[in-house]
Structure 1
Amino acid sequence: MDPSRKSISTDALSARKRASAARSWFPDGPTVSGLYMDDHFIGSHVGYTTYQGQISVPLWLPGQGSATEEAALADEKVAAHQQQVQKLTVAVHVLDLASEGAVLSARISNQEIVSDVLGRTMSDVERALHAGEVSNTDYEATVTEKEDVDGTLAESRQRLENIRAELESLTGTDTLPDLSGIDGRGLGPVGSQLDPEHDPRVQLAESALKQAQASYSVARHSYMPNPSLGVILSRQEQYQSPWDTQIGVEFQVPLPSEARNVPMVMKEVQAVGRAERDVTQAHRQIKAEYRQLHNQLTTSTQILQHARQLRVHSDRRAADLAEAWQVGEIPVIEYLRARRTALTAAERYAQADIVMRATIARMILMSGNIP
């Protein structure tokens, strides 16, 4: 569904046809010219009339045809690598949306649970308030906490719908990809394949360099305008003329000019220089990105372990304080703080889990294993 893929496919087809056209005998179409002269137009009565026709074709300069074909084939390879880069770009975008959507889904689930718990707590506090067991301040604190969670829940649902809409524009469906099945087992075959040299972005930069070099070769072989070879047929109608019909050969060779050649060649030299710069930058950026991915995977694994322990102990503490509040051992505000801490810990755990799985998925994508 990516519209840019169709455009890139058109570029590849165009380059393929240009390569085929470069195999033709002549670099351009033939030129036909005609000439007619008659002395009657100037008032003469000698009867001198000339008819002349000419057809000529341009000729390839040495090496120009093969250089033009190689340049077109280089354009086709660039288009092929652009297809791979575009596919990777869309895959990473979908992964980012899936990751953000998964975090929001887990956050919504946790917030819904807490909202239900706070709803029951608010009912209990309201009954206790009417019985004179708690102050109005405790009741207001419970209502405030419940409203805050519900407001955050509504915002999370809205953000999730926005992500679903954007995902549908990319894939045609608003169903979030399931990241729960992605774990460290998928990294087994990836380790040997995660090489910057195999990254499609590096390959695109290198193919763009070859394309610039091929265009430079065309410019070097086009050091002068193409010569032309033609045939001339002339008929002269003159009184008692023995040479009334003639046929001949014409050959035109435009001479080279620095005013034409130097700007053309230097333009391609600049393009080669920019392409070499892009290749160097691509290698450095991809290498740094791979290093960051490895570090992020190690860090996210450690964060996930800590977040898991934090969630477990926060849930236990919230449950213990809930019982303590029910029997009147602590004020409700302490329980609300513990419930808020437990919610934050659950959200941190969900985010750490998704970050770890998304990092693994990104490494799989970078290795070329795009589903």
Structure 2
Amino acid sequence: MTLAAAVDAAWRKTQAGAAAQAQQALADAERQTAASLLAGSPALSLSERSDRWQDNTGVREREIALALPLWLPGQRSARLQAAEAESASAAQAVAAARLTLAGQLRELAWSLSSLKAEAEGASAQQRYLQTLAADVDRRVKAGDLARTDALAVDGERLNAQAEAISAQQRLQAEQQRWTALTDLAPDVVADEPDAGRAAGQEALVDSFDEVRHPQLAQLALAEEAARRQVEVARRDISEAPELSLGYRHERDARGQASRGSVTVGLRVPFGTDGRNAPLRAAAQGALDKARAEQARARAALAADWRIARDALSVAERQTAMHRERAALLRQRAALLDKSFRAGETALPDLLLAVQAAAQADAALARQLAAQGNARARLLQASGVMP
């Protein structure tokens, strides 16, 4: 199971992008509204006039009319552009939400890798001490070693067994968190490319690319959408004018002929500061907020990238040191084991050497996972998906 597949599975399970998808649906609806030929919903009106309850001379008048809201000059174009900008921002918000989810899975995947290596190391140590304990028991029965040596190695064996159980429990707990998030078996392969060496990744260790980062791209589009809303507020100087088309059927008195006529009317509301000033202030405030959020995010993400780059450099150097140390201590433990079986080394010296080698191997396993996690964090800070 690759990280990319895990992100897809977690995306489907957790609906992490529900807010972004709702924003996309709203933007699509606003775009459809702006693309309409009318500025609002048409209205149908019916009316009747009669003197039945007064003079009752047969006066009657009936009218049916249809009111059509009209766009102000430039208003429809401004709203359409604002809706398109909002739609682009919503689409990019989905990519930003997927990147956030990928960051969570990256951390969890490398935690699984570290705990798995720790559990395997603890199990290997337990198996070695079991074999050593059996050999010591045989030599105690043969009179080559004292009973205290058997007790010492049994104590180390039980301690290794307890450590193996504890490591396995921690691994199972992390596996359950993985399954709860993805509904997948915890057999993930943290297949991150080598930042700075894989094809197309060289720029990650040279500079922070603001353009390619999904979160910064989304904030830039959000700022553009807010700027378009300011233009909408500037064009929206009043309520929509209404063109009314109607037909009137009337009779002056009972017994007289009825006649019909067509009516055409235009209703033009006036815009005042009481209406327009709050709308423009709200639009300008949203634009200022979007710009401030973009500036803060740019500074924070650039700082995160620098921290991740430096952490990866340090982790690579530390890994080299841990690898060399583990190799030396394994070699020392192997030599002392051979010497002990030949009867030339005391058991306490061998146990100390074996314990030191096991600790070095565990530290190396943790450091390898830490280096992989540091690489993943650099890719995450650079806005690169798995």
Give the alignment's TM-score, normalised by structure 1: 0.87
1:177 shift after superposition: 3.5
1:153 shift after superposition: 1.8
- Conserved 8 A contact 1:115-1:150: yes
Q: Counterpart amino acid of 1:12?
A: Q
Is 2:211 aligned against 1:197? yes
Aligned to 1:217: 231
1:171 shift after superposition: 4.7
SS in 2 for 1:197: coil
- Conserved 8 A contact 2:65-2:247: yes
**CA distance, structure 1, for counterparts of residue 285 and residue 348 of structure 2:** 70
**CA distance, structure 2, for counterparts of residue 184 and residue 337 of structure 1:** 39
Is 2:266 aligned against 1:254? no
Q: What CA deviation, in whole Å up to 9, does each residue of 1:207-249 have, x standing for no partner?
A: 1111222222222222321111112332322227788434322
**CA distance, structure 2, for counterparts of residue 114 and residue 265 of structure 1:** 71
- Conserved 8 A contact 1:187-1:360: no
| C-alpha RMSD of the superposition | 2.9
**CA distance, structure 1, for counterparts of residue 380 and residue 130 of structure 2:** 44
Specify every segment of 5 or more residues in structure 2 that has no aligned partner in the other structure, as ranges. Answer: 1-8
User: Which residues of 2 match residues 107-126 of structure 1 at below 5 A?
Assistant: 107-126=118-137
**CA distance, structure 2, for counterparts of residue 225 and residue 34 of structure 1:** 23
Is 2:54 aligned against 1:47? no
Q: What CA deviation, in whole Å up to 9, does each residue of 1:234-287 have, x standing for no partner?
A: 232222778843432222222223333222222222221221111111111221
Say if 1:158 and 1:47 are closer, same or farther in 2 by CA, change over 3 A.
same
Say if 1:30 and 1:317 are closer, same or farther in 2 by CA, change over 3 A.
same
SS in 1 for 2:66: strand
**CA distance, structure 1, for counterparts of residue 279 and residue 155 of structure 2:** 73
1:121 shift after superposition: 2.7
- Conserved 8 A contact 1:238-1:244: no
Between 1:4-13 and 1:95-104, the stretch displaced more is 4-13
Between 1:5-14 and 1:305-314, the stretch displaced more is 5-14
Match of 1:311 among 326, 346, 352: 326
User: Which residues of 2 match residues 253-292 of structure 1 at below 5 A?
Assistant: 253-292=268-307
- Residue identity (%): 21
User: Which residues of 2 match residues 133-152 of structure 1 at below 5 A?
Assistant: 133-134=145-146, 136=148, 139-152=150-163
SS in 1 for 2:53: helix
**CA distance, structure 1, for counterparts of residue 191 and residue 342 of structure 2:** 40
Aligned to 2:5: none
Say if 1:96 and 1:198 are closer, same or farther in 2 by CA, change over 3 A.
same
**CA distance, structure 1, for counterparts of residue 95 and residue 177 of structure 2:** 22
SS in 2 for 1:27: coil
SS in 1 for 2:37: coil
- Conserved 8 A contact 2:305-2:382: no
Between 1:138-147 and 1:64-73, the stretch displaced more is 138-147
Match of 2:189 among 178, 186, 198: 178
Say if 1:151 and 1:260 are closer, same or farther in 2 by CA, change over 3 A.
farther
Aligned to 1:164: 175
1:135 shift after superposition: 5.3
**CA distance, structure 2, for counterparts of residue 158 and residue 195 of structure 1:** 41
SS in 2 for 1:4: coil
- Conserved 8 A contact 2:192-2:376: no
Match of 1:94 among 65, 85, 105: 105
Q: Counterpart amino acid of 1:107?
A: E
Give the alignment's TM-score, normalised by structure 2: 0.84
Specify every segment of 5 or more residues in structure 1 that has no aligned partner in the other structure, as ranges. Answer: none
**CA distance, structure 2, for counterparts of residue 337 and residue 182 of structure 1:** 39
1:159 shift after superposition: 2.8
**CA distance, structure 1, for counterparts of residue 30 and residue 158 of structure 2:** 66
Aligned to 1:235: 249
1:143 shift after superposition: 3.4
1:73 shift after superposition: 1.0
Say if 1:208 and 1:180 are closer, same or farther in 2 by CA, change over 3 A.
closer
Q: Counterpart amino acid of 1:57?
A: L
Is 2:309 aligned against 1:294? yes
| Aligned residue pairs, count | 369
1:312 shift after superposition: 1.0
Between 1:292-301 and 1:230-239, the stretch displaced more is 230-239
Aligned to 2:3: none
Q: Counterpart amino acid of 1:155?
A: S
Say if 1:28 and 1:179 are closer, same or farther in 2 by CA, change over 3 A.
closer
- Conserved 8 A contact 1:237-1:244: yes
Is 2:35 aligned against 1:23? yes
